[in-house]
A and B are shown apart, each in its own frame.
Chain A
Amino acid sequence: DIQMTQSPSSVSASVGDRVTITCRASQGISSWLAWYQQKPGKAPKLLIYAASSLQSGVPSRFSGSGSGTDFTLTISSLQPEDFATYYCQQANSLPPTFGGGTKVEIK
């Protein structure tokens, strides 16, 4: 199975800050990577697919980059509604695997 490692596991930031989350795959996954946002008690929500494609309806302050083994999710200007946990997921091969999550907290 492909292991997905996210860092940091948590980050404290203020509204307006630029936040970057990284995700590393244990082997190359081309661009088969997705990012999800999850708020407490809610289902995950797809933000980014194919490493850098913005899902319809997702604000443009979210962006993704990377290919191969190293990927990044960037929130360009953190908004109050962005405080949540973020997960990466590889879709290159079965089983799909998720990173451990990054909790974005209010500073």
Chain B
Amino acid sequence: EVQLVESGGGLIQPGGSLRLSCAASGFSVSSNYMNWVRQAPGKGLEWISLIYSGGNTYYADSVKGRFTFSRDNSKDTLYLQMNSLRAEDTAVYYCARRGDGGRAMDVWGKGTTVTVSS
């Protein structure tokens, strides 16, 4: 079964760091374009980062320079290293696969919640 499972969320103080993980099963992360998308409480969806199969990464301006997207191909696991966290980073964080059809995100994890608060 094709599946993504996020972990690593929690409560963190402003200025702190957190690393999220996303474990894939049923497919290889190295062969796919993978995304992180977040959703602040009561708000819409916000794309934050993409990693291409070749390893290049792209970031939304809101997280550029603070977040780093990486992967471990041997474990089929993605990571989102989040530094200098701010209250506005509070959200549910989803990893999602970009499918072959129409560049849409066809597989999503259930999400992990990050709360940035003192």
Query: Complex: how many Å from CA A95 to CA B50?
Result: 9
- Of A31, A49, A94, A97, the residue contacting B106 (CB under 8 A) is A49
Query: Complex: how many Å from CA A100 to CA B43?
Result: 8
What would 14 more interface pairs be, CB under 8 Å, given A43-B94, A94-B58?
A: A43-B108, A43-B109, A44-B45, A44-B105, A46-B104, A49-B104, A49-B106, A50-B102, A55-B104, A87-B44, A91-B102, A91-B103, A96-B50, A98-B47
Chain B residues in 8 Å Cβ range of A95:
47, 58, 60
**Does B101 contact A43, Cβ atoms closer than 8 Å?**
no
Query: Complex: how many Å from CA A55 to CA B103?
Result: 12
Chain A residues in 8 Å Cβ range of B102:
31-34, 49-51, 53, 91
Most buried by B among A32, A96, A97, A100: A96
Chain B residues in 8 Å Cβ range of A96:
35, 47, 50
Interface residues, chain B, CB within 8 Å of chain A?
Answer: 35, 37, 44-47, 50, 58, 60, 94, 96, 98-99, 101-106, 108-111
**Does A34 contact B104, Cβ atoms closer than 8 Å?**
yes
Most buried by A among B35, B45, B47, B60: B45
Asked if A89 lies at the interface with its beta carbon under 8 angstroms from chain B, I say yes
What's the tally of chain A residues with a CB closer than 8 Å to chain B? 27
Query: Complex: how many Å from CA A63 to CA B74?
Result: 39
Question: What secondary structure prevails in chain A residues at the interface with B?
Answer: loop
Asked if A61 lies at the interface with its beta carbon under 8 angstroms from chain B, I say no
**Does A32 contact B103, Cβ atoms closer than 8 Å?**
yes
Chain B residues in 8 Å Cβ range of A31:
102
